Structure 1
């Protein structure tokens, strides 16, 4: 059984509510940091507080390379802390399902006992090998995305009908404060620009915009101004 604990203000993990949700049946706590789709990180202090509760804590750091914030260095200190990473985002290998985990030795030994006999496929192995051989290029791409993310955030802040949230991932999350997220999504789609929109209770009337090249940012902002009309200011 999975128990969802709603995030608090500005989509931060509500540590007190997580603790309240824990009971004798709780086996694992799973946290995404940076979070998808909001892009915010959970502080080291908050994660340590949960780890000290004695439950296994898994921190999904799929977007770590865009934030530089990690708790991987704490794994040797705590036998109940696991960090997961991916090659899907920073290395562009989405679809090959390749990643890795940083585990305490005891947990790693137990996982090896129950793992399936099949490892990753040959295409994924070759792609990872080539990615690791070209780290400087990939790191340069990450730096470019981070730089453009900040410019995108600033441009979105200028649009009065959107409220962008600071992000440490490769996207920017926006609440639509005047208008309809689905309508904006459709308007962008007609112009050949694709973003994600959400209408779930906790993410109602919001958008997630991936970071692209500078020309992509410019085209997006121009389209948003057209769609927003006078509300763009």
Structure 2
């Protein structure tokens, strides 16, 4: 067969990444208008983009022209916002593209990437797509990193090249401390620190490690506009990279990887810092309310989180059945059933009215169950 002759054989073994089902598809399946669905399953910012970003998009005049391949305006705006030199920054079509670019730049077929599950599923997925091999070092029961286990894995794998660390971690919201990160940076491999959710941790006194890139030639830090600025649909992220790696990423990235609309919206969003900080504060407050109110149900056990979501272990009932029951009430949450997060759901922080709908849905489910006893 032609497929056997032409297709990369390793692709057949890759586990398909499972994205969130599109809003419109779920609305049709549930028989509800989109406006009647509370979406708490993908850690999106329910407040959407800042008004200035929407105004900038409406005023855009050059959507018919190819974008700046260097994204100079965007990188300068990120530099002003973060304090990192624009020369060390690269923008991408979401942080996902930057994950793929890093792996394309450093992996040879069979090279090893260290992953610390449970964590973001794109790390092993992109490793497999780039011909690498994932070695898992599971997190501890409290979701802390097993630094000794990581060091042992690196020592046992001479082809280990990359370590992914997500902080705050998805799906639990835990953060890596300075001492642990420094211990990991002493290992002979590239540490990719994914800070997609760092803005919510910063609101509580935790710091980004973006400035650490200047001090460590084996550190990459990735960030995104999806959570902070409500731009998940426009796909724009950025990273800070060491000097030896960055020129090669510039060589292999798609020339026009950040589209004009995404760049326009991102620059305008960064100019509205007060709006961004206000919404981050609201989401942090709502996350805390979620953890408190959901724990009162008894069968939901929340884990501490420094992000814009709460991971909950479901006790005494199937988490998947609970997710589906909530769907029938028009409330969407994420279900997990993998090692470390077996029988769990993850609930994104929303607006106060979104939390109200979730709580009402849970009460309706409990009342319905009681009536059938």
Find the residue that maps to 1:29 and give its secondary structure.
strand
The count of corresponding residues between Structure 1 and Structure 2 is: 231
Offset at residue 107 of structure 1 (A): 2.2
Structure 2: gaps (5+ residues)? 1-132
Q: 1:5 aligns with which of 115, 123, 137?
A: 137
Deviations 1:73-103 (A, max 9, x none): 3222111111000001111111322111112
Instruction: Quote the RMSD (CA, aligned, Å).
Output: 1.7
1:79 and 2:182 are equivalent in the alignment: no
Q: 1:136 aligns with which of 269, 274, 288?
A: 274
Find the residue that maps to 1:223 and give its secondary structure.
helix
- TM-score normalised to the size of structure 1? 0.93
1:88 equivalent in structure 2: 226
Distance 1:62 1:42 in 2: 14
Q: 1:34 aligns with which of 164, 168, 177?
A: 168
Distance 1:10 1:178 in 2: 21
Distance 1:228 1:67 in 2: 33
1:18 and 2:156 are equivalent in the alignment: no
Deviates most, 77-86 or 112-121: 112-121
Tell me: CA distance 1:140–1:10, structure 2 relative to 1, closer, same or farther (3 Å). same
1:64 equivalent in structure 2: 198
2:188 equivalent in structure 1: 54
Q: Is contact 1:162-1:178 (8 Å) kept?
A: no
Larger relative contact order, structure 1 or 2 (CA cutoff 8 Å, min sep 6): 2
Offset at residue 135 of structure 1 (A): 2.1
Larger Rg: 2
Q: 2:294 aligns with which of 148, 153, 156?
A: 156
1:108 and 2:246 are equivalent in the alignment: yes
Structure 1: gaps (5+ residues)? none
